[in-house]
Amino acid sequence: MSNFTTRAAIRAFLAGIGTIAGLVVGAGGADAQELARPTSFFVQLGNANSTNSVTGGLDWDWDRKWDLGSGQLSGYYEGFLSVWSYPDGTAPGHTQLAQVGLTPVFRWTPSHGASPWFVEGGIGLTLTSKLYQPVGKRFSTAFNFGDQIAVGRRFGDEGRHEVSLRLQHFSNGAIKHPNPGENFCEVRYAYRFQ
């Protein structure tokens, strides 16, 4: 029987939305009206050994862009809710946990921003609804850092659709031990509203 409940997911989601809003506004990156107008939404599927993840979230583009080499550097804030399913290391069967997070992401686009291809990376903060303890591994904190790198391509009308392949690592940065970390390979689809 799973320890994960719908109430836990709702609590994690609401706490995550509050955290994301507070961090974005506190960082001076957006006001309340901008938070109500994300620039895109995304869904993402991932796998790490025997752990599967399903993620959904929203992105808020930054106002600034910079020339960098032959490309353009831009970025966005990513807020997400994820559900992980994995074999439970503390009891027989599978279990689930919810994860919320906020990540500032830098994106580099070749051809001074005109290319449909992009490369991106970021480091953010995450919080899980319980400690991640699959078979053979045990996290010591529900708070973790999430760093990611990705390569992707825009397509469709005005480049509103995006597909990317991501590598994402979660760990607590040695705040507390054990700190085994987990590495996910993920496929992401995003739709841009503007």
Cα–Cα dist 129/144, whole Å:
12
Judged against a pLDDT cut of 90, whether residue 13 lies above it is answered with no
Mean pLDDT estimate for the chain? 87
Q: Which two tokens stand for residue 84?
A: 């992980």
Q: Is the pLDDT of residue 153 over 80?
A: yes
Helices then strands, each counted (H, E), the chain: 2, 9
Mind listing the pLDDT tens digit for each residue in 20-54? 555 555 545 455 555 578 999 999 999 998 999 99
- Residue 101 above 90 pLDDT? yes
What's the pLDDT tens digit per position in 70-99?
999 999 999 999 999 999 877 788 899 999
Show the domains of the chain with their CATH numbers.
6-192 (2.40.160.20)
Question: pTM of whole model > 0.85?
Answer: no
